[in-house]
A and B are shown apart, each in its own frame.
Chain A
Amino acid sequence: MPSAVPTSAAPWWVWPVALFIVTFVLGILAVLGGVGGGVLFVPIVGGFFPFNIDFVRGAGLLVALAGALAAGPGLLKRNLASIRLAMPVALIASAAAIVGAMIGLALSAAVINTLLGATILFIVIIMATAKKSDFPVVPKPDALSQSLGIMGIYREESLGKDVEWTVHKTPQALFMFIVIGIMAGMFGLGAGWANVPVLNLMMGAPLKISVATSKFLLSITDTSAAWVYLNQGAVLPMIVIPSLVGIMLGSMIGVKILAKSKPKAIKWMVIGLLLFAGLRSLLKGLGIWK
């Protein structure tokens, strides 16, 4: 029969206050980086707070979800997040996230952290070596994206002009979103870390559209995975609520900054954030940085 174990001597309230402060900052950074906050939340809170990784992942999904819900309305109204682009990929990713969540809750923490870290570092390499990701050239939209009407036009404030966009390689991207969804559910992440590269580098959506649509997409993908964790009991209000409130407030600030920011700055911020998060997870999983 499992029994309670003694932990740190700090009063219980220290951790909710610390969570609120940390997640407020993460909320701002997550919107600018389009990574949903979960990929930062899970390794940082899992690494420096005393909570078990199960509860951290459950909270991480809800944190990413809350951040996406807070940012979603603004991004949709500013025409930066595309529902037509998000809905097909969200269906694939959300279904896969259920599978991933169930697998993830059955795996050991060491395996999860190692795989998570390796995956994030792989994405960092891809993003750091990509060329012309701000406004990718799409020679011709594919048949699927044309039939679904996945296209749009948005106001690029940093250039002061309207930008039209289309996408290609939609079938390949949908396959990638199966993998992304599984991993999002497995690791308790928001999947933004992979959404943005696939939307931007594979499908050819402009970086700002990719970041914004990714953020909106998280609200759908993470809903399915979050319910699996919730139904398994892997949600503790004392961890979730301060984190949720912090990141939602931070996300609202982030949305106001996003529309006026430059695509290049966003790209390098995402890379820096992912590099730190990935290294932490990998080293923890390998038992090097405990």
Chain B
Amino acid sequence: MNISLIVPCFVDQFYPQAGLDAVKVLERLGMIVNFPTAQTCCGQPAFNSGYWNEARAVARHQMAVFRDAGAVVILSGSCGAMVKVFYPELFQGQPEEAEAKTLAAKTYEFSDFLVNKLGVLDVGAQFSARVTFHDGCHGLRELGLKDPPRQLLRHVRGLELVEMKEAETCCGFGGTFAVKFPMISTAMAEVKCKSAIETRASVIVSNDSSCLMQIRGLLDRQQYPIKTLHLAEVLART
């Protein structure tokens, strides 16, 4: 199957390994991966800040880039929610509504694609570690992806998955919220990290690098010896 990959802008710049590993996993499963280099950002920062016209301008660009794509795989629940849930809302009653809905329907978050589109649970990965999974809120609540990442992790050889008490609690990132209200955002991250540490896991895994940027940021500052990895980085290990 030919697929087009969306690598979120901050993953492109800060966490390219997650993107490379996603390609590795998809190719291992026989996918022909295409990365249209004209892609930029999904427009979520403008949308969440209330600048819907500006968000529409960016969304129109992304929709044009992926107009002729087959299945689109996106490496973030949050950017995935932007495309799948909020593009159709942004263009409701506008000429681009149909196109927004078409892109939404053919776009899959990474774990969603593997589990629900390809029907794959075991990607042949091996990773010996005690791992806890953090649900990005958009993936969890906008896209309803509670199970797929966990199903994938449970099939990784050597991996022990332990649930943290606050697995579904927001890490406090929230895009511009993290810098507009840093004190609240940090307090939320503290709750999250404390809960992850209580599991005695050595790695926090998530399908959203933005959450991991927040969690990693606090863990580093408070010098906690616990690693963070994107789901794709775990699934790529053999």
Do A and B interact with each other, yes or no? Answer: no
Please list the residues of chain A having a beta carbon within 8 angstroms of any beta carbon in chain B.
none
Interface of B toward A, CB cutoff 8 Å:
none
